[in-house]
Amino acid sequence: MLKTGIDPYRLSRRGFLNAAALGAASIAVSACTTTGPTPAPVEPPPPTYDEPPLGDYATMYGPISDSGFELPAIPIKKMDPQFLRQIVPDPTGQRPGTIIVDTTNHFLYLVREGGQAIRYGVGLGRAGFEWSGDAVVQWKQKWPKWTPPDEMVARQPELEEYSAKNGGMPGGLKNPLGARALYLFHDNVDTLYRLHGSPEWNSIGKSVSSGCVRLINQDIIDLYDRVPSKSPVIVTSDIGQPMAAGANRRAIPIDGGVPDGSVLLGPVT
* Residues catalogued as catalytic: 196, 212
User: Shortest CA distance to 177 belongs to which of 221, 138, 207, 133?
Assistant: 221
CB 213 within 8 A of CB 176: no
Residues 6+ apart with CB under 8 A from 234: 92, 94, 98, 99, 100, 101, 133, 134, 243
Please tell me the distance from the alpha carbon of residue 199 to that of residue 114, in angstroms, as a whole number: 33
Question: Measured between alpha carbons, how far is residue 206 from residues 152, 233, 255 in Å?
Answer: 21, 20, 15
**Beta-carbon count within 10 A of 90 CB:** 23
* β pairing state of 86-89 and 116-121: antiparallel
**Beta-carbon count within 10 A of 107 CB:** 20
**Beta-carbon count within 10 A of 116 CB:** 15
